[in-house]
């Protein structure tokens, strides 16, 4: 048996904690939430929780609030526009319905549920993160299934393409999951973008998600028709960096979770990275979006990529955006993102010291400065952003 098949079998047999993400396209039909689908999924998850020898915890990341809200409003002849405020309003209408539908579905199989709404801001504040982790820990102890969604109504960066895929990867690290399952409307990952008259083959495995050319495979970030696979693979890449595999499954296929746990080769298996990054580095890179960037020269790119060095002022060619000391910034080389890191300098100071040697930096800013603009300990190369 090939390595990845053995790996898949072993993880499915031994995983203790699962993060399962479900997209709106799986949970909703033309008339809003499809309670048959929710009932069926709740039943399957309960079978896994009760029959599996290993699985003890399941955390759900469920989309569907906006779609549910739109369908409720349409019954009152209201059609919300597509702008952010309208979608946030629709999410506020729909979140209650979504949660009610999940609660009813799990009630039928004797499981309690909990609603947890999070925004990107919650990940920036350590105390909030700890509170969330403690809450999940209690919920799991009580046998309750937490159902997480983005708190769309207050989220300023919210409701962008793929938010809940990103949220699911953060949940993997927060609760220490051993497997992420992403239920999508597609049968798995297509090797190239599907066309109306031609469905390419489904990849049974993605060996190294970091090396995939997502733009070529998924036809760019915003192409619909691909089941939003771009953001699913980006999320899988983050999980892979933490050493956690992702199983991408066709969420509307009958008994798909049970079949996967019974050993059927359904969907796409995304293998974990060989060297897991620490949770500290993971949070550093993904708890917030980068607010600026520095462009580096050949020598600097080589020092970072090949020699594991820190980023020094001398290798910086250009700085873009306005940021403070301590902000997350992107490192760019020849138009390509090399990674992200925490800047020891504000952007205006980098503007003054770019390209300079340490002694020249001291002459401008004084000598009580960090030698590095980004220390290698505060740097994540190949960040999935
Ligand atoms: N939070 C949104 C919703 O519940 C979905 C966002 C997403 O799917 O990424 O409708």
* pLDDT tens-digit map of 276-286: 999 999 999 99
- How far is ligand 1, taken at its centre, from the CA of residue 225, in Å? 17
Burial string for 9-27 (b: 16+ CB within 10 Å, else e) reads eebbeebebbbbbbbbbbb
Residue 67 Cα: closest atom of ligand 1: 10
374: phi then psi, degrees, rounded to nearest 5: -130, 120
Across 75-104, average pLDDT: 94
CA-nearest residue, atom 2 of ligand 1: 63
Give the residue, out of 87, 159, 234, 251, with the most ligand 1 atoms within 8 A of its beta carbon, to mutate for a pocket test.
159
CA-nearest residue, atom 5 of ligand 1: 63
Across 327-351, average pLDDT: 96
- How far is ligand 1, taken at its centre, from the CA of residue 82, in Å? 14
Is residue 226 pLDDT above 70, yes or no?
no
- How far is ligand 1, taken at its centre, from the CA of residue 372, in Å? 39
Give the residue, out of 89, 96, 152, with the most ligand 1 atoms within 8 A of its beta carbon, to mutate for a pocket test.
152
CA 15 to chain centroid, in Å, comes to: 19
Predicted local distance difference test score (pLDDT) of residue 196? 77
Q: Tell me: the pLDDT tens digits for 188-221?
A: 999 888 877 888 899 999 999 998 888 778 765 5
For all residues of the chain together, what is the average pLDDT?
Answer: 92
- pLDDT tier for residue 50 given thresholds of 50, 70 and 90: very high
Q: Tell me: the pLDDT tens digits for 344-380?
A: 999 999 999 999 998 888 888 887 778 999 999 999 9
- How far is ligand 1, taken at its centre, from the CA of residue 170, in Å? 15
Does residue 151 contact residue 116 with C-beta atoms inside 8 Å? no
**Protein residues with CB under 6 Å of any ligand 1 atom:** 23-24, 63-67, 91, 149-150, 152, 162-164
The CA-CA-CA angle for residues 191, 251, 276, to 5°, reads: 65
Contacts (Cβ under 8 Å, ≥6 apart) of 98: 27, 33, 62, 64, 65, 68, 149
Q: Tell me: the pLDDT tens digits for 135-188?
A: 999 999 999 999 999 998 888 665 565 589 999 999 999 999 999 999 999 999
- How far is ligand 1, taken at its centre, from the CA of residue 342, in Å? 29
Residue 68 Cα: closest atom of ligand 1: 10
- How far is ligand 1, taken at its centre, from the CA of residue 75, in Å? 21
Residue 166 Cα: closest atom of ligand 1: 9
Give the residue, out of 20, 22, 24, 171, with the most ligand 1 atoms within 8 A of its beta carbon, to mutate for a pocket test.
24
In this structure, what token pair is assigned to residue 175? 């609760």
Predicted local distance difference test score (pLDDT) of residue 215? 78
Predicted local distance difference test score (pLDDT) of residue 174? 96
């Amino acid at each position: 048996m090939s390595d990845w098949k053995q790996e898949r079998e072993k993880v499915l047999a031994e995983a203790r904690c699962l993060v399962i993400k479900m997209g709106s396209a799986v949970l909703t039909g033309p008339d809003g939430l499809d309670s048959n689908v929710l009932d069926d999924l709740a039943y399957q998850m309960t079978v896994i929780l009760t029959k599996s020898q290993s699985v003890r915890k399941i955390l759900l990341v469920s989309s569907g609030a906006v779609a549910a809200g739109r369908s409720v409003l349409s019954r009152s002849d209201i059609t919300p526009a597509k702008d952010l405020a309208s979608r946030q309003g629709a999410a506020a209408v729909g979140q209650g319905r979504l949660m009610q539908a999940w609660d009813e579905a799990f009630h039928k199989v004797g499981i309690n549920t909990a609603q947890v709404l999070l925004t990107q801001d919650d990940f920036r504040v350590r105390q909030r993160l700890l509170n969330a982790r403690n809450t999940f820990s209690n919920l799991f102890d009580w046998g309750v299934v937490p159902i997480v969604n983005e708190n769309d109504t207050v989220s300023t960066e919210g409701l962008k393409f793929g938010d809940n895929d990103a949220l699911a990867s953060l949940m993997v690290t927060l609760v220490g999951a051993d497997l992420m399952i992403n239920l999508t409307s597609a049968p798995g990952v297509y090797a190239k973008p599907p066309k109306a008259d031609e469905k390419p083959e489904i990849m049974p495995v993605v060996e190294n998600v970091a090396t995939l050319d997502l733009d070529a495979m998924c036809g760019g970030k915003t192409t619909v028709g691909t089941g939003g696979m771009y953001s699913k693979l980006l999320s899988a890449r983050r999980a892979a960096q933490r050493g956690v595999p992702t199983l991408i499954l066709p969420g509307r296929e009958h008994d798909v979770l049970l079949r996967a746990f019974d050993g059927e080769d359904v969907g796409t298996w995304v293998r974990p990275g060989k060297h897991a990054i620490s949770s500290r580095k993971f949070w550093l890179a993904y708890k917030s979006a980068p607010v600026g960037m520095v462009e580096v020269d050949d020598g600097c790119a080589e020092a970072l990529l090949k020699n594991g060095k820190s980023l020094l002022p001398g290798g910086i060619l250009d700085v873009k955006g306005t940021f403070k000391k301590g902000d997350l910034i992107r490192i760019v080389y020849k138009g390509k993102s090399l990674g992200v890191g925490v800047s020891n300098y504000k952007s205006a100071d980098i503007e003054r010291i770019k390209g300079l040697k340490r002694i020249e930096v001291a002459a401008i800013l004084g000598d009580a400065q960090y030698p590095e603009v980004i220390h290698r300990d505060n740097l994540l190369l190949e960040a999935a952003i």
